[in-house]
């Protein structure tokens, strides 16, 4: 019994110890639940009351006490109860609230600042301090040049060794120290050779090569851009920090070239775009600064030309190296950098050559050399199949771009227009037939350039002083080049209609959408302008050749010209315009059948109609006056065609109206243009009849041109409109006739009657009165027909 009692006492002691531990666990659990609730408050709605938390605490405590025996007797502890866990802690569920995010702890910010940011800032400050200290010692002659260089190397090598030693445990920190040491070594080497001449050129460049190789190896070994950025790109800043207008250009550019060679080597292994972009910007910035502020043609021409070629080739290789090795597609940023590198090189090279006496003669050759370089690269890419098709098309496009630029650089005049137009047609054909969108897009700016070049050719040729017999009409190089330009754009339009898709490879962009309308517009403008300018030039030339020297009073001599020739030229230009619009309408109806083109033609037709009825008829009246003017006919003779040409013009206008009628009735137009067309037609007929009446009255010598004749004509035509409107049940014609008659009456009472004699007044009033009675009779007789029309 004693043994059993002792055993029970021991078990009770163990139980008491477990109970004490459970009490501590319960307190810790309460604390954890409180902390969980506080964290939830950050990402979810706050609890409604404090009691909710307290009840939670009581629930926890109660759940714990359920597992604790109320008495300390061992008999009350059942075996199955001891096997159960006292309290199974529930896993913390991640809040489902979308706004809940675990706040970033202070330690993570400290980690970022302490392990990453501070060391980079520190190494930058250290390098700046070394530079400032070195510069101060140089300016105040505190230490000799040799000592400065030795101390610089020691500090750089010391920092380098310390960084390498830390690599195993602190790789990031070590990378920053190594990159800073590399920059210091570049700095010391450049200054030691360029400013102090402490060692020969071969040794200086040997050291730079060693440092560059080490920087490349270190960057690849650490697999960190920071070494390349601080060590290699940071070295670009050294010439600016040490610049005092001393040192040679060849040293500066050789130094930059060595760094770029190191970056090129890295480009074969790593695709570090920020590194490439930084090197690109610094290199061309350094050269651009030199070219703007220090360049002298006689002293630096050869050096500058050689090194821009080296820089161009290095960056060409840098941008291609990794992509070709990894066989990756080029992105838009890669394409942009290739294009930017090419055009910066060409722009600087062009500037260097253009300011050189011999270089001016080589601008075309230099441009073609650019095209040849890209051609060689594109050939290698194609034969070796080193890249995707888009890269091949891009480089091939650069070949065509530089050939295009070479045309105006080496040639001038009409040849530029022809070659650009031919090249645009070729590129467009390749782009459409080979499904190579980039070629089609390259053809667009060429089309615009070719068109503006054509405009310049027209200005230079037809704008010349015509009196000097500049060239023969039709049989001249400008008209021939215009026809060839039209042929090229005709071919482009043919391909466009045949394929009818900008590029099946990719969707239309804004430029392609604009050019889908722009190409036919440029084509039509070229056709119209080519013949228009020839017609204008022909009549202007006749006008200037009609000069006659006239001796006036007091033996004063002056020149007299046949101004009828100017009017003939103007009316033939209008006839040509009427014919051109008519041809467009017929072609659209028979072949093209395009609604948008048809609407544009109708709008242009309204403008041309207004111009002919105002300006055209006025010019015809001027030709009639020229025929009747006896003073001018004594110098140039009377030209009866000044009267006859009006009927030729009426013939062109009739063809024009017929073409508009056919176009307005075409099914593809899908517009109801019947009523507007009839109104325009009747207005035009009345206008022309009025002009013709005045013409014959003027020829007969009548002095009542604008009174008696016009009033009667308008009254008769108003009757005609009403009759047609009644029999064809067209109310708008009847209303038009009534309006016209009203205008005629107003003209009669406020204008005609003022200076008419009695007989004339009688004739006019009787005539118009009879017309009014006839109109009234017709309305009464056919009132049922008119009322049925309104009901319909």
SS3 (DSSP) at 562? coil
What are 316-345's pLDDT values in tens digits?
Answer: 888 777 667 666 666 666 667 777 888 888
Are 525 and 448 within 8 A, CB to CB? Answer: no
Are 425 and 488 within 8 A, CB to CB? Answer: yes
Query: Cα–Cα distance between 748 and 627 in angstroms, integer?
Result: 31
Segments of the chain scoring below 50 in pLDDT: 44-107, 110, 241-244, 502-506, 791
Are 297 and 357 within 8 A, CB to CB? Answer: no
* pLDDT at residue 511, rounded to an integer: 76
Query: Cα–Cα distance between 123 and 131 in angstroms, integer?
Result: 12
The 3-state secondary structure of 62-99 reads HHHHCCCCCCCCHHHCCHHHHHCCCCCCCCCCCCCCCC
What are 248-260's pLDDT values in tens digits?
Answer: 778 778 878 877 8
Buried b (16+ CB within 10 A) or exposed e, 621-660: bbbbebbeeeebeeebeebeebbebbeebbebbebbbebb
Query: Cα–Cα distance between 98 and 91 in angstroms, integer?
Result: 20
Hey, what are 197's tokens? 């001449």
Nearest to 229 by CA among 276, 171, 165, 173: 276
Query: Cα–Cα distance between 716 and 68 in angstroms, integer?
Result: 124
The chain-wide mean pLDDT, for the chain, equals 75
Hey, what are 527's tokens? 């056709």
Instruction: Count the neighbouring beta carbons within 10 Å of the beta carbon of residue 459.
Output: 11
Instruction: Count the neighbouring beta carbons within 10 Å of the beta carbon of residue 100.
Output: 13
Hey, what are 219's tokens? 């960057």
Please tell me the pTM assigned to this model: 0.56
Beta bridge partners of 560: 548
* pLDDT at residue 259, rounded to an integer: 76
* pLDDT at residue 359, rounded to an integer: 81
Hey, what are 292's tokens? 């703007």
């Amino acid at each position: 019994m004693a043994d059993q009692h002792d055993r029970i006492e021991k078990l009770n002691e163990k139980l008491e110890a477990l109970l004490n531990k459970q009490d501590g666990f319960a307190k810790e659990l309460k604390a954890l639940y409180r902390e969980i609730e506080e964290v939830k408050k950050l990402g979810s709605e706050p609890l409604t009351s404090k009691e909710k938390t307290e009840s939670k605490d009581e629930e926890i405590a109660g759940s714990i006490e359920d597992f604790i025996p109320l008495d300390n007797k061992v008999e009350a502890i059942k075996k199955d109860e001891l096997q159960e866990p006292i309290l199974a802690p529930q896993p913390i569920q991640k809040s489902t609230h979308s706004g809940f995010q675990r706040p970033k702890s202070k330690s993570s910010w400290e980690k970022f600042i302490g392990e990453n940011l501070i060391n980079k800032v520190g190494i930058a400050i250290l390098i700046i301090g070394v530079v400032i200290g070195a510069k101060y010692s140089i300016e105040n002659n505190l230490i000799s040049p040799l000592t400065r260089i030795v101390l610089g190397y020691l500090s750089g090598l010391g920092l380098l060794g310390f960084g390498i030693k830390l690599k195993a445990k602190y790789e990031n920190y070590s990378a920053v120290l190594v990159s800073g040491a590399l920059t210091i070594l570049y700095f010391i080497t450049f200054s030691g050779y360029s400013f102090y001449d402490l060692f020969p050129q071969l040794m200086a460049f040997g050291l730079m090569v060693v440092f560059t190789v080490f920087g490349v190896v270190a960057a690849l070994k650490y697999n960190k851009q920071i070494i390349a950025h601080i060590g290699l790109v940071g070295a670009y800043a050294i010439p600016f920090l040490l610049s005092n207008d001393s040192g040679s250009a060849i040293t500066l550019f050789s130094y930059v070239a060595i760094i770029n060679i190191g970056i090129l080597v890295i480009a074969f292994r790593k695709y570090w775009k920020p590194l490439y972009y930084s090197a690109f910007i610094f290199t061309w910035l350094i050269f651009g600064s030199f070219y703007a502020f220090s360049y002298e043609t006689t002293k630096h021409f050869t050096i500058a030309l050689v090194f821009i070629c080296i820089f161009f080739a290095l960056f060409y290789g840098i941008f291609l190296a990794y992509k070709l090795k990894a066989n990756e597609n080029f992105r838009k940023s890669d394409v942009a950098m290739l294009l930017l590198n090419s055009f910066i090189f060409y722009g600087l090279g062009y500037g260097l050559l253009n300011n050189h006496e011999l270089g001016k003669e080589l601008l075309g050759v230099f441009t073609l050399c650019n095209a040849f370089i890209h051609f060689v690269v594109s050939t290698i890419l194609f034969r070796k199949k080193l890249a995707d098709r888009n890269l091949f098309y891009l480089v091939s496009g650069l070949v065509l771009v530089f050939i295009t630029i070479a045309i105006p650089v080496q040639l001038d005049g009409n040849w530029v227009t022809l070659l650009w137009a031919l090249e645009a047609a070729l590129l467009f054909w390749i782009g459409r037939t080979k499904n190579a969108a980039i070629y089609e897009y390259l053809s667009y700016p060429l089309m615009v350039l070719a068109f503006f070049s054509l405009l310049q050719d027209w200005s230079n040729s037809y704008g010349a002083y015509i009196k000097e017999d500049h060239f023969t009409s039709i049989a001249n190089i400008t008209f021939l080049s215009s026809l060839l330009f039209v042929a090229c754009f005709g071919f482009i339009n043919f391909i466009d209609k045949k394929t009818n898709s900008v590029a099946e490879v990719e969707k239309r962009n804004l430029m392609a959408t604009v050019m889908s309308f722009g190409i036919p517009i440029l084509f039509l403008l070229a056709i119209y302008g080519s013949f228009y300018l020839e017609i204008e030039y022909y009549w202007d030339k006749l006008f200037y050749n009609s000069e006659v020297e006239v001796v006036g009073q007091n033996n004063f001599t002056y020149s007299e010209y046949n101004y009828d020739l100017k009017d003939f030229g103007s009316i033939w230009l209008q006839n040509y315009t009427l014919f051109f619009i008519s041809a467009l309408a017929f072609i659209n109806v028979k072949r093209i059948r395009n609604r948008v083109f048809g609407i544009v033609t109708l709008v242009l037709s309204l403008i041309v109609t207004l111009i002919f009825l105002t300006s055209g008829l006025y010019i015809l009246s001027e030709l009639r006056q020229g025929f009747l003017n006896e003073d001018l006919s004594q110098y140039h003779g009377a030209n009866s065609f000044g009267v006859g040409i009006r009927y030729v013009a009426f013939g062109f206008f009739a063809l024009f109206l017929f073409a508009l009628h056919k176009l307005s009735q075409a099914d593809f137009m899908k517009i109801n243009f019947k009523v507007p067309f009839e109104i325009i037609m009747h207005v035009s007929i009345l206008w022309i009849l009025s002009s013709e009446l005045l013409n014959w009255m003027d020829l007969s010598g009548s002095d009542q041109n604008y009174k008696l004749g016009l009033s009667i004509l308008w009254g008769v035509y108003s009757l005609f409109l009403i009759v047609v409107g009644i029999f064809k049940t067209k109310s708008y014609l009847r209303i038009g006739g009534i309006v016209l008659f009203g205008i005629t009456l107003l003209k009669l009472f406020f204008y005609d009657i003022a200076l008419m004699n009695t007989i004339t007044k009688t004739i006019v009033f009787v005539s118009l009165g009879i017309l009014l009675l006839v109109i009234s009779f017709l309305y009464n007789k056919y009132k049922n027909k008119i009322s049925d029309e309104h009901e319909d």
